[in-house]
Structure 1
Amino acid sequence: MSVQDYYATTYLTCNVEYSFWASWKGVAYPTHAMQLISFPLQILAFYIIIKKTPTVMKSVSWPLLLNHSLCTGLDIGLCSGGTPYVFLPVAGIFGLGTLSWFGIPFTIQLFVGLIIGNGAVCSYVYLFEIRSSSLPQNRFKITRKSTRLLYHAIVFFYNCSCLLFFLTNPADQEAAKLHALTRYPCPTTEFFEFPVTILLTDQNVIQFISFIFLPSMILQTAGNIIFHAFCAVYYLYIAPSKSVSKETQKNQKAFLIGILLQTCIPLMFISGPLIILAIAYSFGYYSQEMMNLSIVCAAFHGVAQSVAVITVHHHYRKTAKKMIWKIICKESRSTVRLAEASSRLFRSRDLS
């Protein structure tokens, strides 16, 4: 039996009601709309980081720019380039983005997307490490460029070791889909109407990824961030240097709070829905609506991350306010000139 034979016969016994949020439209339309909203904010954040970073923040301008660049690449991939539709119970996936319209296989999109995503995650480690190492009294600071390069390479390549699982992708996708249907017999019709790729079929590999690899990746990344954040907090609040001026310490504390907020605010839009989805799935509950809504919530990351960069840092917030006020004043002057011109026109008509 082929997949199409299954769709024409066995699938007819399934009672799968149509739902917008369970369909491909429930993923594609909201995420593409979010891309239109987030892109101007991302460009504004780029401009402010590159052109308006003050002297006191120059040492962290490159980490901020790298972090924003990678997060923007991740968001573009999620919202418009390679928007994923995921069948979680069978590790099935296909793309709804522009790259799929151009015929690029989704496995290639996913491979590149994971590299960018891992880079975005590791850029937060880099951001906190730079902040921590800039404190002269920090005994754990990294001073040599070669040591820093090696440290961050280890963090990055450990996370990228997930790419090795692409070697376990089933070559016979038809057989993999039929096997998937034995475990998840009534997916949405998208399973049959789109070029779905089954990433994994070996249950041992799936369990290894779910219970060993992913937790270890999360722990090592979070552990590195927490360690550097703790060092910064300790040497700024608990054991501050007496040789550093109060003004400098004030700026250092403000920037630390800024990057904490810059990290936590966007992270909520990705981690929150995924944690809820994982808990529900672990208790045996799964719905395609919940899966799709998790992806839609993750699409808000682009807006949240750009707004966070612009607003949580005092100098950037001040610059953004000036730019917005300048635009408002310009529009007001244009409106006043238009009103004056209209008034003069009506007066000339009345006199004639």
Structure 2
Amino acid sequence: MSLLLHDYYVTNYTKCSKCDSFLCSWQGLAFSSHSITVVLLPFHLLGGYCILFKTPVYMTFYRWPLFNLHFWSCFVDILISALITPYLIFPAVAGFPVGLLHLLRVPIPLQVWLGIMSIYVMIMSMTILLENRHNSIPSNRFRITGKIMKTLYYSIRVLMAFIYSIGIFLCVPDDQQGALLQILKEIPCPTEEFFTVKEIFVLCIDDYYINFLASITALGVLFECSQMLFFMLCCLYYLFFAINGFTSKKTRKLQIAFFGSIILQVSIPVMFLLPSFVFMVFSVVMGYYNQALTNFAVLHASVHGFLSTVVVLVIHKPYRNFIRSFFCKSVKPEVTIKSVMDTRRMSVFPTHVTT
């Protein structure tokens, strides 16, 4: 703690009414977040196992995009709740990590960059899932069929995210202690962690640059949402209006079922994340400080991957039957990709030779 911060702590801060609730402290955030990880990790693993080994043959084309979204959703959950566990100080753009990466002495800027890129890749995995469903409709004139075009399309998007994730560090104050003093003008009575924690990282204190970052972030979210909306509208049009391209009613019915499950899988976790996002934007824009609510917003966001896993296990009949088979042995197993490969292997290498 610098001398000026210490003077503020022993004079002005003694007059503040402090938040003494468990959730206001970094220990409360860390304990709650890490407990969530311990409880939910088995569900994440179960979801991944079902997708990889219990996916039926007729869902082969759907398996890897589904697993890609599942992996990144769960990874972001674990990143927030266990690896980084960010103690955010809003409306100031500052905070410090209390997760495993901090114990391993990973630099805070690197953790910030990892968090931003992981969230973006998770959002992109949602688009990939919708684009996979969009491309599976044979009569769709807007399909991205060429490997070169698809590679270029996703490479450009990753490059844009990389540039953004690097650009946010252009306005990091060199004098971090001076930045903390400036934050005290906006938040005169923060929690005691503000003074006792050694490594609080201030990303930016320039209001103009903060507004610029907010605008770029909003444009990026709008760009991603517009792509998802385009793929969804194309699917809706070809599944319910331009239906002449389907060879049979059964194929169209199966396509509609897959499309509905994808909409649920993408929309429910996003809607669950929305309250945390809205609160954080409100906090920054309106200058509202409430550390307990900020920490709760972090906890709320850290379980969206669990909700996504539950949706996957519930809405897809093969996975649902697998879960039921633990309790009811009469459930008929699906013909999975793994079972087909095992059958082929047995046909090539017979276990019994008759003479």
CA distance in 1, matches of 2:303, 2:268: 11
Counterpart position of 2:6: 4
- In the TM superposition, residue 241 of structure 1 has moved relative to its aligned partner by 3.3
C-alpha distance 26-241 of structure 1, shift in aligned 2 (>3 A): farther
Check the 8 A contact 2:91/2:283 in 1, yes or no. Answer: no
SS at match of 1:89: coil
- In the TM superposition, residue 144 of structure 1 has moved relative to its aligned partner by 0.3
- In the TM superposition, residue 272 of structure 1 has moved relative to its aligned partner by 2.0
The partner residue of 2:300 within 272, 297, 302 is: 297
- In the TM superposition, residue 277 of structure 1 has moved relative to its aligned partner by 4.2
Check the 8 A contact 1:118/1:160 in 2, yes or no. Answer: no
CA distance in 1, matches of 2:192, 2:281: 23
Check the 8 A contact 2:90/2:280 in 1, yes or no. Answer: no
Report the identity percentage.
33
Count of matched residue positions in the alignment of Structure 1 and Structure 2: 327
**Counterparts in 2 of 1:299-314, with a 5 A limit?**
299-314=302-317
Counterpart position of 1:186: 189
Check the 8 A contact 1:155/1:221 in 2, yes or no. Answer: no
CA distance in 2, matches of 1:52, 1:241: 33
Cα deviations across residues 108-166 of structure 1 (Å, max 9, x unaligned)? 11111211111111111111011101111111111101111111222333233321111
Please say if 1:42 is aligned against 2:27.
no
Matching residue's letter, 2:87: Y
Counterpart position of 1:140: 142
Please say if 1:250 is aligned against 2:224.
no
Please say if 1:167 is aligned against 2:132.
no
CA distance in 1, matches of 2:55, 2:184: 54
More helix by percentage: 1
CA distance in 2, matches of 1:30, 1:225: 33
Please say if 1:235 is aligned against 2:243.
no
C-alpha distance 326-179 of structure 1, shift in aligned 2 (>3 A): farther
Counterpart position of 1:198: 202
Bigger RCO of structures 1 and 2 (CA < 8 A, at least 6 apart): 2
Check the 8 A contact 2:171/2:204 in 1, yes or no. Answer: yes
Counterpart position of 1:207: 211
Q: Which runs of 5+ in 2 are unaligned?
A: 331-355
Counterpart position of 1:79: 81
Counterpart position of 1:67: 69
SS at match of 1:168: coil
- In the TM superposition, residue 281 of structure 1 has moved relative to its aligned partner by 5.2
The partner residue of 2:221 within 218, 223, 230 is: 218
- In the TM superposition, residue 175 of structure 1 has moved relative to its aligned partner by 1.5
Q: Which runs of 5+ in 1 are unaligned?
A: 328-352
Q: More displaced, 6-15 or 304-313? A: 6-15
Counterpart position of 2:29: 27
Cα deviations across residues 273-302 of structure 1 (Å, max 9, x unaligned)? 321443465445331121111111112212
Q: More displaced, 236-245 or 79-88? A: 236-245
Q: More displaced, 128-137 or 148-157? A: 148-157
CA distance in 2, matches of 1:148, 1:37: 38
The partner residue of 1:88 within 87, 90, 108 is: 90
Q: More displaced, 173-182 or 132-141? A: 173-182
Cα deviations across residues 242-270 of structure 1 (Å, max 9, x unaligned)? 44222221221111111111111112221
- In the TM superposition, residue 187 of structure 1 has moved relative to its aligned partner by 0.7
Check the 8 A contact 2:76/2:302 in 1, yes or no. Answer: no
Q: More displaced, 76-85 or 50-59? A: 50-59
Q: TM-score, normalised by structure 2?
A: 0.87
- In the TM superposition, residue 207 of structure 1 has moved relative to its aligned partner by 0.8
The CA RMSD over aligned residues, in Å, is: 2.0
Check the 8 A contact 1:128/1:228 in 2, yes or no. Answer: yes
SS at match of 1:93: strand
Check the 8 A contact 1:115/1:160 in 2, yes or no. Answer: yes
Q: TM-score, normalised by structure 1?
A: 0.87
C-alpha distance 223-98 of structure 1, shift in aligned 2 (>3 A): same
Matching residue's letter, 1:180: I
C-alpha distance 278-200 of structure 1, shift in aligned 2 (>3 A): same
